Amino acid sequence: MKLKKIITCLVLMLSLVSCQINDSLKVDEKKISISENKNNKVVKKKGKAAVSSNGLIKYDTIYYDYFDTVTTFLAYTKDEKEFEKYKEILEKNLKKYNELYNTYDSFNGVNNISTINKNAGKKPVKVDKDIIELLEYCKDFYYKSDGKINIALGSLINLWHNERELAIKNPKKAELPKKESLEEASSHNDIDKIIIDKENSTVFIDDPDIRIDVGAIAKGYGVKKIVENLKKEGLNHAILSVGGDDVLIGDNPSKNNGEFKIAIQNPDLSAKDPYSSIINLKDTSVVTSGDYQRFFKVDGKVYHHIIDPDTLYPSQYFKSVSVIHDDIALADALSTYLFIVDIKTGRKIAEKYGAEVFWIDKDYNEYRTEGYKNIED
């Protein structure tokens, strides 16, 4: 699946949390050994188990095979057995939503977004109810965003995606999509041509040239579902980070104020300080969209993956936009929406949805909502 989000810094996030632990916890000499799942390329991690004042132990693990990004899971549980229970639930859900919401890949026995696209103009596709719910959410946000976030623009997004993939393989042959091709692809943008039959659980694209791209919303929406399932099973203290979509589940039991420290990556990769902001949060979510991970160069100019539907080219307003909101699905959608509108418009949108936002523009100027300033170190 196309990666949209980057990046609240996972390595620092874990180290910051670890630093907090050292301030108020005693260390159990028992080693943590997180088992390796061969299918999911889980990294084995060994270290000292930190025990909180209420007896909870910190465990963490990393995955690489879902949503085309890195997933980090850090949880405080009473013992390793409980952690393994949550890890099993997480792996099952990551696999499920990665397969269902995938735009580019097919999986045996799974009808997903890619399947719907392959049948555009041909026939309705029977799909899981989670796809129906996602597409309904995307359609609703299309109208809330005045058409800026349009999942029917997949044909346009694909042109940029394909050129980026070719450029990564052979930078010397990198080139831009032809303007005529962009204009033709973008003309197939009618979201009402994506016909959802909720009763029969089918989706039909009534235009053979429309393709669905859910990259602006699907990851956050999937993470929301995953967190809901983890909470139902009793998880109360954790961080789940899926490539820049971060959910803080409950509070940090190693700190009196219950807050986790989260670092926002500096989009200026040559800067001495790798972090633009460090914030203190609990029981909420933060999502960052940036131009500094998914990009390619043509004649020395950078072209990133967040496309402005008005210009048909990568948006030029910002380098990075971070959104804090209790609803991770909404935070995910807003981070793209705010990336492709100017700062004045963005401030109004942030206020409308009750989101705290941190912007870094193309000249590395920084802007913050008032509430964001109150949670920043």
pLDDT digits (tens, 9 = 90+) for 270-279: 888 999 999 9
Give the model confidence (pLDDT) of 167-211 as tens digits: 989 998 999 999 999 999 999 999 999 999 999 999 999 999 999
- The pLDDT value recorded for residue 154 is 98
Among 26-40, 233-247, 313-327, 347-361, which is the least confidently predicted range?
26-40
DSSP symbols for 327-366:
-HHHHHHHHHHHHTS-HHHHHHHHHHHT-EEEEEETT--E
Helix ranges, the chain (H): 10-24, 80-100, 113-118, 129-144, 154-169, 179-186, 218-232, 328-339, 343-353, 370-373
Furthest C-alpha separation in the chain = 64
The answer to whether residue 17 scores a pLDDT higher than 80 is no
* Residues 239, 250: Cα–Cα separation, whole Å: 9
Comparing CA positions, the residue from 155, 145, 156, 139 lying closest to residue 195 is: 139
- CA–chain centroid gap for 180, Å, is 31
C-beta of residue 97 within 8 angstroms of C-beta of residue 112: no
Per-residue CA distances from 283 to 194, 227, 238, 327, 361 (Å): 35, 11, 9, 10, 28
* pLDDT band with cut points at 50, 70 and 90 for residue 32: very low
> DSSP code of 77?
E
State the Cα angle at 370 between 142 and 315, rounded to 5°.
40
- The pLDDT value recorded for residue 302 is 87
Give 113-205's CATH code, choosing from 3.40.50.720, 2.120.10.30, 1.10.3980.10, 3.40.50.300: 1.10.3980.10
Cβ burial of 347 (10 Å; 0-12, 13-18, 19+) is middle
Half-sphere exposure of 184 (CA within 13 A, CB side): 8
* Residues 26, 43: Cα–Cα separation, whole Å: 25
Give the model confidence (pLDDT) of 36-52 as tens digits: 233 333 333 433 456 66
C-beta of residue 28 within 8 angstroms of C-beta of residue 57: yes
- The pLDDT value recorded for residue 50 is 62
Bigger pLDDT: 309 or 19?
309
- The pLDDT value recorded for residue 52 is 60
Give the model confidence (pLDDT) of 285-316 as tens digits: 999 999 887 788 888 888 999 999 999 999 99
* Residue whose structure tokens are 């000292």: 48
Give the model confidence (pLDDT) of 319-348 as tens digits: 999 999 999 999 999 999 999 999 999 999
- The pLDDT value recorded for residue 234 is 97
Comparing CA positions, the residue from 329, 354, 357, 341 lying closest to residue 140 is: 329
**Would you say the pTM of this structure is higher than 0.95?**
no
Note the CATH architecture for domain 10-101+217-373: Roll (3.10)
Q: Where are the domains of the chain?
A: 10-101+217-373, 113-205
C-beta of residue 126 within 8 angstroms of C-beta of residue 202: yes
C-beta of residue 217 within 8 angstroms of C-beta of residue 137: yes
